[in-house]
Structure 1
Amino acid sequence: MKKSILSTWLLLLSISLLLAYCKGKNQESANAINSIENLRRGDIVLCGPDQRQLGKTDFSFSCSEKSRDTFNMGLALLHSFEYSEAEKAFVKVLENDPDCAMAYWGIAMANFHPLWAAPNKEELQKGAKASAIALKLKGSNKREQAYIEAIHTFFNGHEELKHAARAKQYEQAMEKIYLEYPDDKEAAILYTLALDATADPADKTYTNQKKAGAILNKLYPGRPDHPGVVHYIIHNYDYPELAPLGLEAARKYASVAPSSAHALHMPSHIFTRMGLWDESIQSNLASAAAAKCYAEALGANAHNDQELHAMDYLVYAYLQTGQEQKAKEQIDYLRSMKSMFPEGQTSTYAIAAMPARYVLELRNWKEAATLDTTTTLFDMDKYPWSKAIIHFTRVLGAVHTRDIAAARKDLSSLQNQHARLVKSGDDYKANQVLIQVKMADAWIQFAEGDKEKALAGMQAAADLEEKTGKHPVTPGEVIPARELLGDMLLAAGKNEAAQEAFQANLKRTPNRKNSLSGASIAASRSGAVAIHRP
């Protein structure tokens, strides 16, 4: 009897201790997730012609089986750069499985966005915290732990190390996983994204991009519906010389993930590179509509950055097809906007570039000279690259309306934006603004009569621009340097050289309206035959 009572007592004690342990463990898990500030939670919001269609991902997953579909949705959202909704998906995984280390990995990945602007302070803190928790929990196997350690290398030490150095560390860590686990297709796909993110903009042999493209092309036949495969093929071939290699993926991606505004837009990167304007227009109309729907579904009372991104590409394509009124409608719509989210390089670049493109493409120099350097949508002073676009446009407008004093004033402001970017260590953007400084200075010299020096300056600007890749946030320069060189050569009466400049620009940017017309004018004046296609 006593033995029986003792056994019962020991059993009850064991259960009590187990319950106490589980309660403590659950509390510890709850404390872990609650320690991450500004975490996105709630229902996953999607818009598009076919909601909840994001492509097919199947990650080998060791956490709760009932969370598998949610985890894969989060992964698919990551691959289409729907970072806010991806974060929500990974939080939902944690609601079912609070100790799932890979869900914390997903949260960290949702705050990385390697091809966009570097994470802001809030995103860095969130990613660092999530990756640290994941590291403490540890993945359920060596492979998962390697994924966690890879993203931790990016966020760890962000206070001391620059973004580029940490992105390189992440790329190297992903390469190790790719090599160690050759059957892990997800590792290969994420590695190709890391390669593109760390590619040298000045490398015109496209070493990283070609390496990534080769990996993705091997994967594509067996995974044509994987959003990362088709998406990253497009990004890695988003260059004048490589664009035709991405056309098949471009025409595929929108059907793979029609619930993503970014997926609907992304094909237009290749369409723009190849001068396929009608396809670009259709792509971006669908994307802008989906992004607007997304913002409305969130109840944000603001415009999503993906809508603005698509609009910039729309304005560009409309202007190349002579649809100036439709381009103006986009500009007017932009000016009617009261707020946007999230604020960052994607949206701020588009807001500055759209009106600049419009006046420069139409050669509306009077309006260009007085283009507003402010906007109610964001503080322009926080974004020197975006602000530089406006000052550059104003210089060209002032020069062509013969107000050299105003042109010099805006040149000085342009030089200030360049100095700010140099000081910040943002070499790529500093270089982009330096090209604009050179062009602006050359046109002022030309207007003042020093034509040979001006032409030499424009030639140098065009050469520098062609050595530098474009940023993913833009469909192309607000006006290509080589095309502006052609304009200057025409104005100088050097018609044969002007035709060569326009034709050279058409090789980089096929079917650009002003280069086509410039080449025809130059050919007519020189008595040569105009060649309208590169």
Structure 2
Amino acid sequence: MKYLNPSHRTIILLIILCCCQSKKEQAQFQQELKSINLTRGEITLCGSEAGQFGKVSFSLGCSEDVKEDFNLATALLHSFEYTEAEKVFVKVIDKNPECLMAYWGVAMSNFHPLWAPPTKEELEKGSATIKLARTLKNKSSKESDYLEAVATLYDDWTTLDHNTRLQKFEKAAEGIYTKYPDDKEAAIFYALALRAAASPADKTFVKQRKAGDILNAMFPNEPDHPGIAHYLIHTYDYPELAELALPAARKYAAIAATSAHALHMPSHIFTRLGLWDESIESNINSMSAAKCYAENSGMKGHWDEELHGLDYLVYAYLQEARDEKAKEQLVYLQSMNEVVPLNNKDAYTFAAVPTRYALERKDWKQAMALELKPADFPWENFPWERSVVSFGKVLGAVHLRNEAIAKEALATLYTNHEKLIEKNKAYEANQVQVQIKASEGLIQYLQGHKDEAIRLLAEAAALEDATEKHPITPGEVVPARELLGDVLMEMKEYSKALEAYEANLKRHPGRFNGLYGAAQAAQKSGDIKKATTFYQQLIAIAKLSDTKRPELATAESFLKQNI
């Protein structure tokens, strides 16, 4: 360098310094990336059609050689295959570390806006990923907008509650949707954000209807997009709206046939509409895919998605009076020694399936003897889910006139409710409050206080009607308004009982015991035409019954005499 003039030497030294600094920054970046416990590996999903995840075209700012992987990862994200989506987003990062949207994808894969709130580990991973992505220099304003939108789900997570962050995400997603009107993915993710931020107490469904309008406008031109069909199902997963989702429900499984979740999701709508055959087929396929996934991924135990499908499957079997089929699934569930991950889906299924099996068949002795199983499951973390068992015990004990056990189970419901209030879990606390009021009403009836019993059961029914069920469950183990009808029947208030049953069937169409109760109430109140209709519906849904429930014999006898 002695032959160069001073200015040239300065320029060269600056170039060398910059190169050294750049290498140092790159090394530090890679070290920080390595410190984040990102999920890597090949995708291991399996379903009725291998490799079928739907069609997505969305790869902002990434190099050409990773676009196919990025679109695959986004398709997986839209079907809530979060672990597999993260694997593919990380594959993109490893190939193209400057692809900011791949970091966005990792953060999106760890939040799960329609499921349970993320764990501490997921929040830490998402936060670290966003922090690292923010240091990337070559990013467009649109990419920054996407990153900052998902950041609202993680920023200040130690001080802001889950719902507050969902509301912030909705506003950020709306900003992207408004700013980039030609971006299809912006519209789809905004619809998801609207559904995630919707209040379960809003019976006008303002946000759901807005999300539905956005998605329905796109569906005809994007018939194979997994997110549109999937989010339409979630958006309309309400008794008042379910019919609107039927086209999407009957399409989605074919769009993303390699996803166990996609195979299951249509059953949400089939359940809402009492389409039990379709629900059964949906969940058999989903459970098969979930078992395959657990085996292929080397999972120790059963995947939570399999248990989720099992609860929906048992519910449908019981409505068709296919009790032996339901029992097979109950025995299978009770044989499970390990499930992954341990979460509310597992807890709800473990609690609900044996409770449903007893109550739907009116086996009150079995209901009164219900216990929390498996015994080594961390039930202390799931007050709402374990309340299902306590509620079942109340119903069994009341029917067997065992007031002591009924009150003991009610006391457990009080304790669970208090714990949910302490944890600021208002929705779950509200669900347990429905069970408490219904239980108090039934005990009052057992004690001979009929007016008070009706008042409490009516309050429970109104409270249940005012909020929506959680997607985790196909439905309440016994709807409160159906219980109200049952008590009114015992009081020989047949017209009022019919009114209760009919109102219940609007929200829970095709329920075996609801139809039977309505038929009995109509018959005893002298409305033979209605009784005939309800008995015919009962016989129709139980056409594949593998047991002879006494209700079916009653229905057949009535129809022989009146048709």
The TM tier, using the shorter chain, reads over 0.9
Which range moved further: 468-477 or 2-11? 2-11
Cα deviation, residue 481, structure 1: 0.8
Q: Output the amino acid matched with 2:521.
A: A
CA contact (8 A) 1:486 1:518 kept: yes
Measured in 1, the distance between the counterparts of 2:80 and 2:527 equals: 48
Query: Alpha carbon RMSD of aligned pairs, Å?
Result: 2.1
CA shift digits 1:331-366 (9 cap, x unpaired): 000000010111112222122111111111111111
Deviations 1:66-124 (A, max 9, x none): 11111111111110000111111111111101232211111111111000000111111
For structure 2, the residue ranges without an aligned partner over 5 or more in a row are 539-563
Closer/same/farther in 2, CA of residues 376 and 58 from structure 1, 3 Å limit: farther
Aligned residue number for residue 527 of structure 2 = 528
Indicate if the aligned counterparts of 1:70 and 1:89 stay in contact, CA closer than 8 A: yes
Q: Is the 8 A contact 2:29 2:132 kept in 1?
A: no
Determine the C-alpha separation between the residues in 2 that align with 1:74 and 1:365.
49
Number of residues of Structure 1 aligned to a counterpart in Structure 2: 533
Q: What letter matches 1:207 in structure 2?
A: V
The 5-angstrom pairing of residues 53-64 of structure 1 reads 53-64=52-63
Cα deviation, residue 245, structure 1:
0.5
Residue pair 1:338, 1:377 contacting (<8 A) in 2 also: no
Of 106-115 and 135-144, deviating more is 135-144
Provide runs of 4+ in structure 1 moved above 3 Å: 1-23
Cα distance in 2, alignment partners of residues 347 and 76 from structure 1 = 25
More displaced stretch, 386-395 vs 57-66: 57-66
Q: Deviations over 1:27-58 (max 9, x none)?
A: 12311212213x21111111112222110111
Q: 1:121 — aligned with what?
A: 120
- 1:486 and 1:150 map into 2 onto residues whose CA distance is 48
Q: Aligned-pair distance for 1:436?
A: 0.4
Q: Which stretch shows the higher mean deviation, 377-386 or 170-179? A: 377-386
1:446-501 Cα shifts (integer Å, max 9, x gaps): 00100111011101111110111111111111111111111111111111111111
Code of the residue aligned with 1:28 in structure 2: it is Q
Q: 1:136 to 1:506 in 2, by over 3 A?
A: same
Letter in 1 for 2:519: S
How far did 1:21 drift?
4.8
Corresponding letter in the other structure for 2:79:
S
Aligned to 2:423: 424
Kindly provide the CA deviation profile for residues 292-316 of structure 1, in whole angstroms up to 9, marking residues without a partner as x: 1000001112101110010000000
Q: Which residue of 2 aligns with 1:361?
A: 360
The amino acid of 1:293's aligned partner reads C
Say yes or no: does 1:373 pair with 2:356: no
2:515 alignment partner in structure 1: 516
State the distance in 1 between where 2:524 and 2:423 align.
47
In 1, Cα distance between the equivalents of 2:176 and 2:137?
16
Distance 1:108 1:316 in 2: 35
In the TM superposition, what is the alpha-carbon distance from 1:19 to its structure 2 partner? 6.0
The question of 1:107 aligning with 2:106 is answered yes
Q: Call closer, same or farther: CA 1:377–1:272 in 2, change over 3 Å.
A: farther
Structure 2 Cα separation of the partners of residues 366 and 514 of structure 1? 18
Identity %: 51
Partners of 2:188 and 2:215 within 8 A in 1: yes
Q: Is the 8 A contact 2:233 2:269 kept in 1?
A: yes
Task: Tell me the equivalent position of 2:26.
Answer: 26
The separation in 2 between residues aligned to 1:50 and 1:25, in whole angstroms, is 44
Alignment of 1:162-177 (within 5 A): 162-177=161-176
Q: CA offset at residue 378 of structure 1? A: 2.2
Residues 377, 294 of structure 1: CA spacing in aligned structure 2 closer, same or farther, 3 A cutoff?
Answer: farther
User: How far apart are 1:22 and its partner, in Å?
Assistant: 5.2
Contact map agreement 1:489 1:495 (CA 8 A) in 2: yes
Seen in structure 2, the aligned counterparts of structure 1 residues 30 and 474 have a Cα distance that, compared at 3 Å, is: same
Query: Does the 8 Å CA contact 1:171/1:195 hold for their aligned counterparts?
Result: yes
Contact 1:57 1:226 in 2 (8 A): yes
If the length of structure 2 is used for normalisation, what is the TM-score?
Answer: 0.91
Using the alignment, how far apart are the partners of 1:278 and 1:8 within structure 2?
Answer: 81
Q: Separation in 1 of the partners of 2:50 and 2:13?
A: 51
Instruction: State the 1:202 CA deviation.
Output: 1.1
The answer to whether structure 1 residue 403 and structure 2 residue 409 are counterparts is no
Q: Which runs of 5 or more structure 1 residues have no equivalent in the other structure?
A: none
- Cross-structure match for 1:83: 82
- CA distance in structure 2 between the aligned counterparts of 1:27 and 1:419, rounded to whole angstroms: 51
Q: Secondary structure at the match of 1:41?
A: coil
Q: Aligned partners of 2:452, 2:253: CA distance in 1, in Å?
A: 48
Moved more, 127-136 or 140-149: 127-136
Q: Is the 8 A contact 1:275 1:512 kept in 2?
A: yes
**CA distance in structure 2 between the partners assigned to 1:318 and 1:15 by the alignment:** 73
**Superposition map of 1:11-410 within 5 A:** 20-21=20-21, 23-37=23-37, 39-137=38-136, 140-376=139-375, 378-410=377-409
Distance in 2, Cα, partners of 1:341 & 1:377: 14
Once residues 479 and 136 of structure 1 are traced to their aligned partners in structure 2, the CA distance between those partners, rounded to angstroms, is 53
SS at match of 1:137: coil
User: Which amino acid in structure 2 is aligned with residue 481 of structure 1?
Assistant: A
CA shift for structure 1 position 17: 5.8
Rounded to whole Å, the distance in 1 between the matches of 2:46 and 2:25 is 38
CA contact (8 A) 2:250 2:266 kept: yes
Cα 1:443–1:310 shift into 2, 3 Å: same
The structural deviation recorded for 1:2 is 8.5
Q: Is the 8 A contact 2:444 2:453 kept in 1?
A: yes
